[in-house]
Chain A
């Protein structure tokens, strides 16, 4: 958030100036390159951390009663973090982000009834234009932060009220004081993450690429950010039409249904509430995690369109 505020000092959310302003930030502004790089990398690490946290909560059954709402708010936050990534991706207004946004928003059009309206609302019109950029900027710096603040507050409040969950093991875990033990461990992890962030920012800075040209043909190898790749890959490999139904609609339907069941997990997993983990659900969760990982790796490294 701090790096985002710093970027706001120079970033200009218009079709004509967006790319130039980012170029100015990384080439002229003192430490601008570092601020942008940390902003982008910390966003990626945040989503990775949230995904790991989600699966650890699932496997440790930390969502069981009375923490159902904590799980739901956590899921909402993960969705919000991904929305941050999606809206922020277009902001540099480069060729790759432009066409990825075009493809990404086109997918929404598949949804029955609301698809077209939703796509036009997100795009600010029929096509991806400067209006889309302004809209994404608005979502990224105002709407999403506001909702996220509420979600984080509720999440932390619930954690504070209900305390940390303990795993379903025979012997209760050992205990330590919050201060200084927990704080010091937290500080140690923070320092390591900062070191990793600095290393990634220096050696793997996010490339700006070339400025978006709406009338140019789409470049080869357009793909969304890594956390959307598993779904992107599903859409790529799924047949375009099955029994007359749009293949993309089927993928969205399946993913949507699984997501819905995932959110309802605290209520579906009745055994966890009784303190007994369900073996089948554990396997299902493991299978889901492996599927997401395999699809992501496949899309990133092995799919040649």
Chain B
């Protein structure tokens, strides 16, 4: 490198780059620009000279796209005005000696330099600030300060205290220097990026085998209705790993808490199930409520086929018992309403294709479809009368919608009848005029067409 023999110092390089940027006005991302500017100048967030940034900029290269200087410049810590020494200690004010790289003034004894923590010390390293309510109030008063305690009781935290150094610590999920807020879409813990972050380890069989866990949950989650909604359709309301397992206190839900986890979103369905005859029985048998029928990570899209002979009910029930009879009844009731809705929809579609206005009929049909959804949800009550009541209501609405479609088709038939009469009239008039003209314009007629004189 040129600067080592004194021909091209990094300070000069930084100054040239800065001048060029100001002169040409090269566009760049604001955060990157700001970070690079500071790195070029060897200053921290406050604009004061930082020997950490000066040296690490040289080590990584002034235009580096990664590395601690680049990453830290983008982080929320940098935005909050923190600098390297707030985590790592040391004396950033000591002048950087780029000729000899003697950093004893910055990192030597007596400077309070802590360096990078060992893996087992990471939670405490971060917790030094993040568990201090008074300190955190200065930067993010809304942020919880029990994360370190939650981590300690999590599956990760317990394994770490047992000496498993492969488990995730703070930096594995949040990264070391490029730590962004969870609501920042670029963050590793942004809702749609959580699965990738968790599955970085949980899909790695070499890591999971040490903990005796399956590495297949990644594929299971991606194939699930939740994974598809979040990862394929970008629905941020769909659950990622942390929505069921927790964030810092992440752990598999216990058998008794599965329904509580699912009920965070599926409120009424879970309440129906708990109040149903199955609720106490599952609890007594120690079965994880929702998971028995729907699975855990590979939760598929529900369908009426789940009630069929090969369906989930027959995991416990056999043909002929009360459970199978109820399942059959459900299936039939739902099929009847489904058929009524299809029939009404077909009638409305035919009428629509004939140019009839059927929006109101379709609006009515939406209500029948809602009844079908309610009926499917009501299966969790395991109360046939409740389902019948919902299906009957849905049937009445579907019939009303079908009647609208039929009325539209009858109206079209009337219009066609009127058009036929009108067209016949037109034909008669045209034929009459034509005959009249033939008579008028005949050579011996009263108004013949004449050659010009």
Query: What residues of chain A have their CB less than 8 Å away from a CB belonging to chain B?
Result: 23, 26-27, 33-34, 172-177, 180-181, 184-185, 187-188, 191-192, 194-195, 198-199, 202-205, 207-208
Contact = CB atoms under 8 A, between A and B. Distances in A.
A181 B355 CA distance: 39
A141 B433 CA distance: 36
Q: Which A-B residue pairs are the 9 nearest by beta carbons?
A: A205-B355, A195-B426, A27-B357, A188-B433, A172-B452, A176-B449, A191-B429, A202-B419, A174-B449
Contact of A177 (B423, B427, B434, B447): B447
B355 A180 contact: no
B371 to A, nearest CB: 24
B441 A176 contact: yes
Contacts of A172: 452
A23 B441 contact: no
B430 A192 contact: yes
A203 B355 CA distance: 7
Given A188-B430, A202-B416, A23 B357 contact: yes
B422 A195 contact: yes
A172 B449 CA distance: 13
Contacts of B436: 184
A199 B359 CA distance: 23
Given A34-B415, A175-B452, 14 more contacts: A23-B359, A27-B357, A27-B359, A174-B450, A174-B451, A176-B447, A187-B429, A188-B430, A191-B429, A198-B423, A198-B426, A199-B419, A202-B419, A205-B355
Nearest to A204: B355
Chain A interface main SS type: helix
B124 interface: no
Interface in B434-452: 434, 436-437, 440-441, 447, 449-452
A185 B452 CA distance: 20
6 contacts: A172-B452, A181-B447, A188-B434, A188-B437, A195-B427, A204-B355
B360 interface: yes
A184 B419 contact: no
A208 B450 contact: no
Contacts of B360: 27
A213 to B, nearest CB: 15
Nearest to B446: A180
Contact of A191 (B355, B359, B430, B450): B430
B426 A26 contact: no
A192 B357 CA distance: 27
Contacts of A175: 449-452
Interface residues of B, number: 24
A12 to B, nearest CB: 17
Nearest to A26: B357
B357 to A, nearest CB: 4
A181 B452 contact: no
A204 B450 CA distance: 43
A88 B451 CA distance: 46
Nearest to B429: A191
A198 B422 contact: yes
B447 A191 contact: no
A174 B452 contact: yes
Contacts of A185: 433, 437
B233 to A, nearest CB: 15
B188 to A, nearest CB: 30
Given A181-B441, A205-B355, A187 B433 contact: yes
A71 to B, nearest CB: 25
B101 to A, nearest CB: 54
Interface string B395-438: 00000000000000000000110010011001101100110110
Contacts of B451: 174-175
B152 to A, nearest CB: 47
A172 B447 CA distance: 19
Given A174-B450, A192-B430, A181 B357 contact: no
Interface string B336-365: 000000000000000000010101100000
A27 B411 CA distance: 11
Interface in B234-271: none
Contacts of A176: 441, 447, 449-450
Contacts of A184: 433, 436-437, 440
A202 B415 contact: yes
B429 A181 contact: no
A181 B419 CA distance: 29
Contacts of A23: 357, 359
A78 B96 CA distance: 80
A26 to B, nearest CB: 5
A181 B433 contact: no
Given A187-B433, A188-B430, A181 B422 contact: no
* B357, B423, B452 pick with most chain A CB within 10 angstroms: B357
A182 to B, nearest CB: 10
A30 to B, nearest CB: 11
Contacts of A187: 429, 433
B431 to A, nearest CB: 9
A195 B355 contact: no
A174 B422 CA distance: 35
Nearest to B359: A23
A266 to B, nearest CB: 25
Contact of B355 (A192, A198, A202): A202
A115 B3 CA distance: 57
Contacts of B430: 188, 191-192, 195
A195 B449 contact: no
Contacts of B434: 188
A185 B433 CA distance: 8
Contacts of B449: 174-176, 181
A193 to B, nearest CB: 9
Nearest to A24: B357
Given A175-B450, A176-B441, A188-B433, A199 B355 contact: no
A283 B423 CA distance: 40
Interface in B144-175: none
Contacts of A207: 355
Contacts of B422: 195, 198
B447 A199 contact: no
Given A27-B360, A174-B450, A176-B447, A195 B423 contact: yes
B428 to A, nearest CB: 9
A202 to B, nearest CB: 5
Contacts of B357: 23, 26-27, 33, 208
A173 B450 CA distance: 9
A286 B451 CA distance: 31
Nearest to A205: B355
A180 B452 contact: no
A182 B450 CA distance: 14
Contacts of B452: 172-175
